Chain A
């Protein structure tokens, strides 16, 4: 039973509150990713679980046990650090065996466990080497080996892939996911990379300034962001946000008037005459030939075009803000052209410009109060 429960967790350093009002339940065998910008409190939260930071207020439960006062070594968790934290004076075998030796496991059993873990991670041939003789990816595997060999209840990972190059990152991502499927251990993973979060997580926890912004599956978080921050943080390129005013049947921004579909007019009836923020993802703004016949299409000048190979993005300026549209990479679109862009509002959202929260049709269960 390796579920976790955070109850009103708060962490303070003198006057600075780094984590606030943290309430969260993590289920057994889940792969949870904490994501957010630097300084949002995600690493601190991870270290609180490990016991490397003390809890200022609140309760933490691992399984059914309250672990506030429990020493790190007795919490049955293991941690992979961003810099691997391998002991430079020990070889790979001794590094992996370190925790087992500290717990006085007999050497014969240690040999079996270490060889097994090394086999899973494909590093059996490196057991005699010292860390400085290994590449970054190999060192990362040794760090993973050390964390799994003890068979703890929870794996903690603190930005383990940050120091690897792009290709290695992709490879290690799938290896960690594979490892998780094989070992079925509850894993809590911290990163600032939203791609890692989207591709690896069962559920994502987005944090900003010490407060949870949203908890949900990658799909939920992508399609129904709780607020502007989440909308901007998840997804690449980021969601477009346009400030404007809601009129009876259109959203007005700058010199543009965007007609709205009927169902949304019902939902937004209370907001007519108010300033709102429209959030719409680049893939929902289309240019595919001549859309001038469509109702929700606007004629906008393209500032520049970025070609990534399999995708292309058109950058435009509306009402003083830059917006991005994903376009067919095979089309020949030049900058400074005026084109008709169709705004598909099925997955777009409106946000309150003061609270930055999303306007909702129904109340969704979540930890953030509007």
Chain B
């Protein structure tokens, strides 16, 4: 068990190790007590990582906020309301889950071009504003809320939106956390789509920025600086996982206990 965990952690350890060693010693196996933060400072200055950070935060959390709103409202509709064509529309939404994302890159690109949204952060975000995965998760969760709670809310004076906000949302907290973690980690690491949409540093997220940085050295890979840069890119995600691991586990356990 521990052996497998060690195996998984080795690349990460190597990354950190290389990042804090002076660049001459990058690929050597010496264990001298020579540590430095120069690589981080160098990388930070060589490419506009600050801008990349800002872009990534903007994109990831922008997507998350809109997703939470659209998924909550859609989940409620599919969980509790009845209307003509409901089954068909729901199947269409599930179909989105089945389509490989790469197939949509070209059509989405064309739409962005027609909307003049190429090379913008909004362009990167738009295809992800509606999430079938989120709708599905939340619908399951909302369905398990006893209908009487909604009836009480109705009797006690709440309209539909107030009922969703005061009854369904608080009771779906573990689902929101689980979904949030999935969404953030997916979009933080998303590479291909932002690469295609952007061509200026102003709107580039960290993933794209990092790959350009890694390829920009004419004399071959500068492992130390690239390791430092990579570590800077993945660090927030790592931190989030460490902080939220209890929520992670408890959220999956809660949704299992019924």
Contact = CB atoms under 8 A, between A and B. Distances in A.
Interface of A: 50-52, 71-73, 77-79, 81, 83, 85, 87-89, 98-99, 102-103, 146, 150
B156 A83 contact: no
Given A88-B171, A89-B171, A102-B162, A83 B148 contact: yes
A85 B154 CA distance: 12
Given A50-B151, A52-B151, A102-B166, 6 more contacts: A51-B155, A72-B151, A81-B148, A99-B155, A103-B157, A150-B156
A99 B156 contact: yes
A183 B158 CA distance: 25
A51 B170 CA distance: 26
Given A83-B146, A83-B148, A85-B148, A72 B167 contact: no
A312 to B, nearest CB: 43
Contacts of B157: 73, 99, 102-103
Given A87-B167, A88-B171, A102-B162, A73 B148 contact: no
B149 interface: yes
A94 to B, nearest CB: 10
Chain B residues touching A, majority SS: helix
B41 interface: no
Nearest to B149: A85
A315 B245 CA distance: 67
Contacts of B104: none
Q: Which of B146, B148, B158, B173 has the most CB of A within 10 A?
A: B148
A72 B155 contact: yes
B171 A102 contact: no
Given A99-B157, A103-B157, A87 B151 contact: no
B4 to A, nearest CB: 38
A103 B146 CA distance: 23
A229 B149 CA distance: 35
A79 B150 CA distance: 13
A73 B157 CA distance: 5
A85 B151 contact: yes
A51 B152 CA distance: 11
B170 A89 contact: yes
30 contacts: A50-B155, A51-B154, A51-B155, A52-B154, A52-B155, A73-B155, A73-B156, A73-B157, A73-B158, A77-B155, A79-B152, A79-B155, A81-B148, A81-B151, A83-B148, A85-B149, A87-B149, A87-B152, A89-B170, A89-B173, A98-B153, A98-B156, A98-B166, A99-B156, A99-B157, A102-B153, A102-B158, A102-B162, A102-B166, A150-B156
A78 B155 contact: yes
Contact of B146 (A71, A78, A85): A85
Contacts of B153: 98, 102
A206 to B, nearest CB: 26
B211 to A, nearest CB: 44
